[in-house]
Structure 1
Amino acid sequence: MKGPRLPYRYDHYTWVELKEKVEDQPAVILPVGSTEDHGYHMPLDVDTFLVSSVCEGAAKLIPDEVLILPALPYGFEDHHMDFPGTITVRDDHLQDFVVDITRSVAHHGFRKILIVNGHGSNATILETASRRTVIETDAHCGTLNWWSVAQSKLWEIGDSELQSHADEIETSVYRYLNDDAIQMDKAVREVKIPVSKYYWRGWIRGKGASPLRMMDQWSRISDSGVIGDATVATVEKGEELYRAASEELAGLIQEFRALPIEPRVDRH
């Protein structure tokens, strides 16, 4: 730890303090990211840095209602392994590891656990992990992608027709949070994927996500790692998106925390 202890950081408490914190029943947040390519212009930590930052932004708005666990910086990345530096974890290992964490949190008495995802290909794995947590513990556990709470703002301020990866959105938010780490002179627009009636990669303005779900090897659909237009990213767009995502996530956490946990009933 560097600097002062933060009231919303799970790992900043002593074990005695954390035991007392259970009485308040804050929502416990697990950010999950990845270590993978994000174009010529962005570092490998994009997914982890963005999801961690949005979770912290939300926590600052409701510091007494949330505890953030240390982020997981690795995810399911097999489709990105043609790009040097990418680290992948097998899907079953990732799921079991996440469930081990959530089971530990529930074991200590916390009843509201939220997994916040920063890497698209983690999503189905984390959803299953959250369901297992509900089945295997007495806790409520949900999951979401951080950008899902800012969808309306994304299309309101974005200039690109397609948003997918290392694009206008991710680049803008990273620029707002740490512009010095971005090499905008190397940013590119790359959209070499086909867009058909039922399949495309990412989100298209007015159409949303593709009805057909299929993940190709990334090196087949992108030369740079980018799908979208990183060249139109700005600090100003990033600030709007970050603030919107943080505020909406804070509201979601409050609503999730207030949901009652009804007793199970064996109806045999």
Structure 2
Amino acid sequence: MTWDAVAELPRDTPLVLPLGSGYNLDLLADQLSNPPRIGLLPPFPFGWRGSGLEVPDPIFTQYIVNLMDSLRDDGFTRVYCLAPQGLDPQSSFIVQNSASILRQPHPSLYEAQTFLPPDSERGKVILIPIGHTEQHGYHLPLSVDTIIINSIAQGTSAKVPTRSWAMPVMPYGVSTHRSSFAATLNAGGRAFEDFWIAVIDVLVARGFDRFYLMSGHGGNTSFLVNIVKYAGERHRRIFCATAFLHTSGRIGAEALDKYRTSKIGGMGHAGELETSYMLHLRPDLCQMERVVDETDFVATPDYYMDWIEGGSLVANPPWDDDTKTGAYGAGSHATAEKGRLWLEAAINEKADHVEQIHEQHERREQRRDAGYGLWGKFK
């Protein structure tokens, strides 16, 4: 769905955030007294007890509650979390939110899965793709960021399978402009940081030492930088890295300049780049007849909006100041062929980053083992 379609939904429409997938939807309808429509959100992949990758209960709870509160802030009165029957009923998540939780038997399909990389993958870079669920103008669905970064992560893992392993994509991140457009969710910056640091803690405890947090959503970026800093301080013999979005390093930037037809400002959000990706990956979800180009961003020499943002000023004014439809950019310039070319560049860029992470970790370990500097004193 697009954000404006969500904005038009009756506010008593049940909206359901499932923990995992494979639930009985007929049973879900019965549990909700068979309403005329149900909004089913993207499944939350892991984090709870029994999911295969468990983080501390209060950390998990805050992340989920913030997402549900985003929908309540939009005026929806029936917001639920669909949880496995086997989830410990004594957990703080269940106790504190019992009125908003629907329970079903744990799906057998889901029970067989684990989201921890197997022990055989130690020594590889663990790719952690994080998308988001938010508005993307009138012509693109809410899942743009998730679809794109998942495709890049899976493509990277396929390109360098002996060097990397991709975790399931997380479809929820941080939107500090949440209130401007309906269906823009927000995990909250602090909850987001706490959750992903806890995930790194779990993986490090299992013997993994190289991580690449890959974001498809700009709002995640500053918080991912903090996570990388915290993780590096907490676990001194790992290498945990992130990057500003995708298709934005030296390989991606060259491809953007080579194939784009819009001017600076045409690729800010739901513009030429993201629309091209979606025309290549999921054309069935694109409504190109509804594209509205919006490039009237209040720009100054050191503050403007494009995919690779420029200028030394960092700010966060309301999105309402610069866009009427939720788009920042020129989606009308998008083509599926550009999307194919940019996806190829993004995968090449991420594969290159994987190799750099390996090199960084290995060279640093050699120095540590040799007693370089203070490592010799504290070895």
Give the whole-Å Cα distance in 1 for the aligned partners of 2:172 and 2:130.
7
Structure 1 residue 100, shift from structure 2 partner: 0.6
Q: Is the 8 A contact 2:280 2:339 kept in 1?
A: yes
Gap change, CA 1:250 and 1:14, over 3 Å in 2:
same
1:138-162 deviation digits (Å, cap 9, x = unpaired): 3110001222231111111011112
Distance 2:258 2:238 in 1: 36
- What residue in structure 2 maps to residue 152 of structure 1? 254
Aligned to 2:323: 222
Local SS of the residue matching 1:110: coil
Structure 1: gaps (5+ residues)? 3-9
Matched, 1:79 2:182: no
Report sequence identity in percent: 26
Structure 1 ranges of 4+ moved more than 3 A: 10-17
Normalising by structure 2, what TM-score? 0.63
Could you tell me which residue of structure 2 aligns to residue 35 of structure 1?
133
Q: Which residue of 2 aligns with 1:202?
A: 306
Distance 1:46 1:15 in 2: 23
Q: Give the match's secondary structure for 1:146.
A: coil
Give the superposition deviation at 1:13: 7.6
Q: CA deviation at 1:17?
A: 8.3
| 1:141 matches 2:240 | yes
What is aligned with 1:170?
A: 274
Rounded to whole Å, the distance in 1 between the matches of 2:288 and 2:220 is 27
Give the CA deviation at 1:193.
1.4
Residues 1:159 and 1:100: Cα distance change in structure 2 (over 3 Å): same
- Is the contact between residue 176 and residue 219 of structure 2 (CA under 8 Å) also seen in structure 1? no
Aligned partners of 1:28, 1:255: CA distance in 2, in Å?
13
Q: Do the aligned residues in 2 keep the contact of 1:188 with 1:231 (CA within 8 Å)?
A: yes
| 3-state SS in 1 of match to 2:172 | coil
- With structure 1 as the length reference, what TM-score do the two structures score? 0.88
* 2:255–2:342 Cα contact (<8 Å) kept: yes
- Contact kept, 8 Å, 1:37 with 1:80, in 2: the verdict is no
Give the whole-Å Cα distance in 1 for the aligned partners of 2:184 and 2:215. Answer: 17
Query: Alignment partner of 2:212: what SS?
Result: strand
Provide the C-alpha distance between the structure 1 equivalents of 2:184 and 2:343, rounded to a whole number of angstroms.
Answer: 25
Q: CA deviation at 1:127?
A: 0.8
Task: Return the alpha-carbon distance in structure 1 between the equivalents of residues 124 and 238 of structure 2.
Answer: 12
Structure 2: distance between partners of 1:251 and 1:228: 28
Matches within 5 A, 1:1-268: 18-22=118-122, 25-137=123-235, 138-144=237-243, 145-149=245-249, 150-161=252-263, 162=265, 163-203=267-307, 209-259=310-360, 260=362, 261-262=364-365, 263=368, 265=374
Amino acid at match of 1:224: T
Task: Name the count of aligned residue pairs.
Answer: 256
CA contact (8 A) 1:32 1:74 kept: yes
- Describe the shift of the 1:16–1:199 C-alpha distance in structure 2 as closer, same or farther (beyond 3 A): closer
Q: Quick one: distance in 2 between partners of 1:16 and 1:96? A: 18
Q: Specify the SS of the correspondent of 2:240.
A: strand
Partners in 2 of 1:16 and 1:172 — Cα distance?
A: 33
Q: Is the 8 A contact 2:216 2:246 kept in 1?
A: yes
1:166, 1:228 within 8 Å by CA — same for their partners in 2?
A: yes
Which structure has the larger Rg? 2
Offset of residue 110 of structure 1: 0.9
How far residue 213 of structure 1 moved from its aligned partner, in angstroms, is 1.1
Q: Tell me the secondary structure at the aligned position of residue 118 of structure 2.
A: helix
- Per-residue CA deviations over 1:47-91 (Å, capped at 9, x if unaligned) read 111111111111111112111112221111121322111110111
Indicate the larger mover: 74-83 or 167-176: 74-83
Question: Cα RMSD (Å) of the superposition?
Answer: 2.4
For 1:165 and 1:187, how far apart are their aligned partners in 2? 12
Query: For the Cα contact (< 8 Å) 1:115–1:126, is it kept in 2?
Result: yes
Q: Which has the higher contact order (CA 8 A, sep 6+)?
A: 1
Looking at structure 2, the residues matched to 215 and 16 of structure 1 have their Cα atoms a distance apart, in angstroms, of 36
Q: Is the 8 A contact 2:117 2:167 kept in 1?
A: no
